[in-house]
């Protein structure tokens, strides 16, 4: 298309063919599918579930309702739909409703085309400007979405209130030929939802007695949490009936997909003070925390656990290591297992607790989730710890336990330098031997993290004890407190 064209006559002479927005989306989707281009890039884990349903809905020219718990990428999906629009479309210059010069709907556009004909000026609207978004809240009014009579306009133009030119149009008419997203649709008052009926079906708009026939050209995308999640409201049945496709979103099905999303969405902060290495096991534990949270008895499963929890937790994890490196004036550092404690502020603010969780407290729940994730992943790396064993039966962990029994104290300081931290762990020879036997291919840079991971897991499995000291964490054998008491 030639975006230098600036009159209606030149546009007609160029052979430009006007399309509805749903036809645009459909045609561009077909072209993308034929050429093998990703239609919704960055939506990992949805390749065989949500995206095929979205593509079918677009091919069917449906308005769409994305139904799912928080943090499942519903709004991101809606924003990515913009990429399926034509890059530019012609608009009557001065129109407040993005009027198509071939199919004008506003009084202004009809009048100017009638007066100027082929000399009607036009401009080209880029697809990035064709996305409108409104968060549904109880205070949203009909005037916000659809419009109202503007007495100031009536006075300035010396018009009677019966003249349609006194109407100030709301967000929906102004989003003509655009994608219009209403987030959290159930929060919209029922009477406001009712006002959307005719817009979706017939294109009629009623504003304080005016009945306007405005065949708005819109692609509606609604987002909502499942109705049993919130008591604040629900989608009224007649409106649901007018939405062509309802698509269920979901969380990542596996840790690998979850890690990909977290890495993609987290703030890389390229100007970090130092280089921070994050072992893959640390990333696995971080994602497992979210999986444990979604199954936890302390957390409201109907509320969901947003993927944003993992993203912000990952950022906090790196910042915890970075802060320690700054204090030690080190240019490189590696995330330690104890750095996972730095994720707790990112967890506590993003989970809805049930009564039992409220009784225990958010800090306890966050620590509990890290503990459960540790135990879950430990058994994928090392042998199972037998609860009951015969008197003379040996276990893979006996040598490590003996080392702690014979050692007065072992402490890992929170702010220890890399050298001090590594030397402390390397002193536990049986621990190094255990890892060499069961994880012989671990990279040397990841070895300290794995060693500390084993210590924390042994605490969770009641083989060792740990306690917080003024400067760090002290690990002891399970008989330490008993012997001291005697």
Angle (nearest 5°) at CA 228 between 50 and 297: 90
CB 292 within 8 A of CB 365: no
Would the pLDDT of 481 be above 70? no
Band (pLDDT 50/70/90 cuts) for residue 228 is very low
d(C-alpha 310, C-alpha 335), whole Å: 16
DSSP state of 187: G
Average pLDDT over residues 242-254: 92
The Cα-based distances of 269 to 275, 276, 450 in angstroms read: 11, 11, 26
pLDDT of residue 164: 67
Would the pLDDT of 484 be above 60? no
What is the number of other CB atoms lying within 10 angstroms of the CB of residue 64?
Answer: 24
Question: In terms of Cα–Cα distance, which of 329, 312, 301, 157 is closest to 229?
Answer: 301
d(C-alpha 449, C-alpha 39), whole Å: 39
DSSP state of 134: E
pLDDT of residue 88: 94
Sorted by where each begins, the domain ranges of the chain are 8-248, 255-381, 398-485
CA quadruple 458, 459, 461, 463: dihedral, nearest 10:
70
**What is the DSSP annotation of 305-336?**
--HHHHHHHHHHHHHHHHHHHHHHT-SEEE--
pLDDT of residue 203: 63
pLDDT of residue 227: 57
Sign of CA dihedral 290, 292, 294, 300: negative
Average pLDDT over residues 371-380: 94
User: Which residues make Cβ contacts (< 8 Å) with residue 323, sequence separation at least 6?
Assistant: none
Q: Could you report the per-residue pLDDT of 47-104, keeping only the tens digit for each? A: 999 999 999 999 999 999 999 988 899 999 999 999 999 999 999 999 989 999 999 9
Grouping H, G, I as helix, E, B as strand and the rest as coil, residue 100 is strand
Average pLDDT over residues 94-122: 91
pLDDT of residue 477: 85
The whole model's pTM is what? 0.85
Q: Which CATH number fits domain 8-248: 3.40.980.10, 3.40.50.300, 3.75.10.10, 1.20.1250.20?
A: 3.40.50.300
CB 298 within 8 A of CB 323: no
pLDDT of residue 208: 66
Angle (nearest 5°) at CA 305 between 40 and 356: 170
Q: Could you report the per-residue pLDDT of 19-51, keeping only the tens digit for each? A: 999 999 999 999 999 999 999 998 999 999 999
d(C-alpha 187, C-alpha 140), whole Å: 10
Grouping H, G, I as helix, E, B as strand and the rest as coil, residue 219 is strand
pLDDT of residue 199: 79
Superfamily of domain 255-381: Magnesium chelatase subunit I, C-Terminal domain (1.10.8.80)
Q: Which CATH architecture has domain 398-485?
A: Orthogonal Bundle (1.10)
**Lowest-pLDDT range of 85-99, 350-364, 385-399, 433-447:** 385-399
Average pLDDT over residues 284-302: 92
d(C-alpha 193, C-alpha 230), whole Å: 17
Q: Measure CA of the first residue to CA of the last residue in the chain; give whole Å.
A: 88
The Cα-based distances of 467 to 320, 371, 464 in angstroms read: 20, 14, 10
Quick one: 355 exposed, middle or buried, by C-beta within 10 A (0-12, 13-18, 19+)?
Answer: exposed
d(C-alpha 410, C-alpha 117), whole Å: 87
**What is the DSSP annotation of 337-385?**
GGGGGGGHHHHHTT--B-HHHHHH-HHHHHHHHHHHHHHHHHHHHSPPP
d(C-alpha 196, C-alpha 189), whole Å: 11
Question: In terms of Cα–Cα distance, which of 280, 371, 257, 352 is closest to 309?
Answer: 352
Would the pLDDT of 152 be above 90? no
DSSP state of 386: P
CA quadruple 89, 92, 96, 97: dihedral, nearest 10:
-50
Average pLDDT over residues 321-327: 93
């Amino acid at each position: 298309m030639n975006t230098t064209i600036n009159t209606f006559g030149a546009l007609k002479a160029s052979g430009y063919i006007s399309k509805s927005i749903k036809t645009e989306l459909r045609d561009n989707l077909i072209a993308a599918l034929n050429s093998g281009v990703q239609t919704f890039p960055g939506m990992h884990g949805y390749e065989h579930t949500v995206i095929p349903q979205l593509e079918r809905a677009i091919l069917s020219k449906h308005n769409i309702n994305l139904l799912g718990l928080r943090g499942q990428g519903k709004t991101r999906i809606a924003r990515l739909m913009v990429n399926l629009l034509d890059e530019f479309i012609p608009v009557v210059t001065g129109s407040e409703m993005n009027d198509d010069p071939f199919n004008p709907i506003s009084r202004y556009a009809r009048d100017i085309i009638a007066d100027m004909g082929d000399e009607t000026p036009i401009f080209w609207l880029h697809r990035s400007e064709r996305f409108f978004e409104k968060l549904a809240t109880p205070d949203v009014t009909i005037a916000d979405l659809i419009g109202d009579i503007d007495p100031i306009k009536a006075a300035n133009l010396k018009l009677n209130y019966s003249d349609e030119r006194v109407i100030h149009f709301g967000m929906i008419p102004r989003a003509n030929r655009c994608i219009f997203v209403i987030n959290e649709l159930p929060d919209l008052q029922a009477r406001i939802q009712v006002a959307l009926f005719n817009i979706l079906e017939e294109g009629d708009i009623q504003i304080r007695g005016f009945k306007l026939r405005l065949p708005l050209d819109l692609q509606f995308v609604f987002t909502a949490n499942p109705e049993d999640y919130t008591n604040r409201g629900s989608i009224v049945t007649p409106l649901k009936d007018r939405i062509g496709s309802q698509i269920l979103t979901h969380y990542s099905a596996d840790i690998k997909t979850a890690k990909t999303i977290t890495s993609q969405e987290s703030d890389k902060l390229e100007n970090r003070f130092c280089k921070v290495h994050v072992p893959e096991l640390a990333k696995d534990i971080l994602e497992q925390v979210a999986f444990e949270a979604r199954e936890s008895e302390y957390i409201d499963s109907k509320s969901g656990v947003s993927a944003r929890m993992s993203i912000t937790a990952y950022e906090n994890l790196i910042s915890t290591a970075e802060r320690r490196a700054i204090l030690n004036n080190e240019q490189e550092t590696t995330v330690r297992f104890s750095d996972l404690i730095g994720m707790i502020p990112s967890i506590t603010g993003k989970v809805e607790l049930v009564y039992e969780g409220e009784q225990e407290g958010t800090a306890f729940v966050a620590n509990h989730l890290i503990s459960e994730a540790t135990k879950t992943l430990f058994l994928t790396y090392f042998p199972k710890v037998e609860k009951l064993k015969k008197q003379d039966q040996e276990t893979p962990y006996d040598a490590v336990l003996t080392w702690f029994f014979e050692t007065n104290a072992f402490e890992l300081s929170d702010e220890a330098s890399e050298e001090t931290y590594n030397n402390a762990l390397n002193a536990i020879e049986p621990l190094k031997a255990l890892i060499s036997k069961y994880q012989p291919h671990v990279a040397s840079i990841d070895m300290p993290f794995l060693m500390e991971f084993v210590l924390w897991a042994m605490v969770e499995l009641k083989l060792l004890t740990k306690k917080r000291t003024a400067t760090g964490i002290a690990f002891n054998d399970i008989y330490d407190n008993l012997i001291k008491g005697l």
